[in-house]
Amino acid sequence: MELLKKKIRDEGMVLNEHVLKVDSFINHQMDPVLMKEMGKEFAKRFKDNGVTKILTIESSGIAPAIMAGLELDIPVIFARKKKSLTLTDDLYTSKVYSFTKKETNTITVSRKFFSEDDTILIIDDFLANGHAAFGLADLANQASATVAGIGIVIEKAFQPGGDELRARGYRVESLARISSLKHKTVKFVEEQKELEIY
Ligand code: G4P
């Protein structure tokens, strides 16, 4: 998706070989126009798959997910990472380890929002090692719902998550796929073109 790639080139900051900072349009300040376009793109890619609900994880997955939900006219559920005061029982839970943060979160969703009749589209902002996506798929599987696919804003294709999810049969659609962050440079999978980011 060109608009997203341009934004990454213009505003992304390569912190190191593994981490891209995008806090001016995704992770802290958010760009609603870009979010809207990303929602349209996800909807376009999954419009013929009978998706009934979108599942994401707090916090940065929520914005692209809600925009896709708006386009597809379906509800959006976000898995919680922290215990909620009101979300107390009848939960599906899964454990998600974050390499970036070196912590394990128990993610939860209420059972009442899923059923075996649902076809779920999973959406998240980053795909790195795939733990969040596998955890979300696990929640959908516990409900015997169908997983139509996984929509990712930025896939770091040099990390194993995308390949592992595809190998397990999941359809993964990423709006931008990064092949390398070496030498302070973002390299996208499709074009193999190097662009300096300062
Ligand atoms: P995984 O889910 O694919 O296994 O990835 P990992 O454990 O490495 O990522 C944990 C958190 O770090 C996730 O956010 C993920 O979105 C984020 N992350 C991973 N790689 C990058 C990166 O290169 N840049 C940025 N900006 N974030 C990255 P989270 O803990 O769920 O945070 P949030 O959604 O509450 O913001």
Please choose from 24, 103, 125, 126 the residue to mutate so as to test ligand 1's pocket, defined by most ligand atoms within 8 A of CB: 126
Among 3-7, 27-31, 86-90, the minimum mean pLDDT is found in 86-90
- The rounded Å distance from CA 71 to ligand 1 centre is 25
Residue 110 pLDDT exceeds 80: yes
Give me the helices (H) in 82-193, please: 131-142, 161-167
Mean pLDDT, residues 36-43 taken together: 98
102 CB near ligand 1 (under 6 Å): no
- Identify the pLDDT of residue 100: 78
- Identify the pLDDT of residue 140: 98
Kindly state the DSSP code that residue 10 receives in the 8-state scheme: H
Return the ligand 1 atom nearest residue 97 CA: 7
1: which 2 tokens?
């998706």
Q: Give the C-alpha separation, 119 to 174, whole Å.
A: 19
**Which tops the pLDDT comparison, 166 or 196?**
166
Which amino acid is present at 172?
V
H or E stretch including 44?
Answer: helix 32-46
The CA–CA distances, whole Å, from 26 to 4, 12, 31, 109 equal 10, 10, 7, 23
- Identify the pLDDT of residue 97: 92
Residue 194 pLDDT exceeds 90: no
Residue 5 pLDDT exceeds 60: yes
How many domains is the chain built from? 1
- Identify the pLDDT of residue 197: 53
Give me the residues paired with residue 173 across strands: 151
Mean pLDDT, residues 109-122 taken together: 96
Domain of 137, CATH number, reads 3.40.50.2020
Residue 75 binned pLDDT confidence (cut-offs 50, 70, 90): very high
- The rounded Å distance from CA 5 to ligand 1 centre is 18
- The pTM (predicted TM-score) of the whole model is 0.93
SS3 171: coil
163 CB near ligand 1 (under 6 Å): no
Question: pLDDT tens for residues 53-67?
Answer: 999 999 999 999 999
Mean pLDDT, residues 90-101 taken together: 90
Q: Which domain holds residue 99?
A: 2-197
Question: pLDDT tens for residues 181-191?
Answer: 999 999 999 75
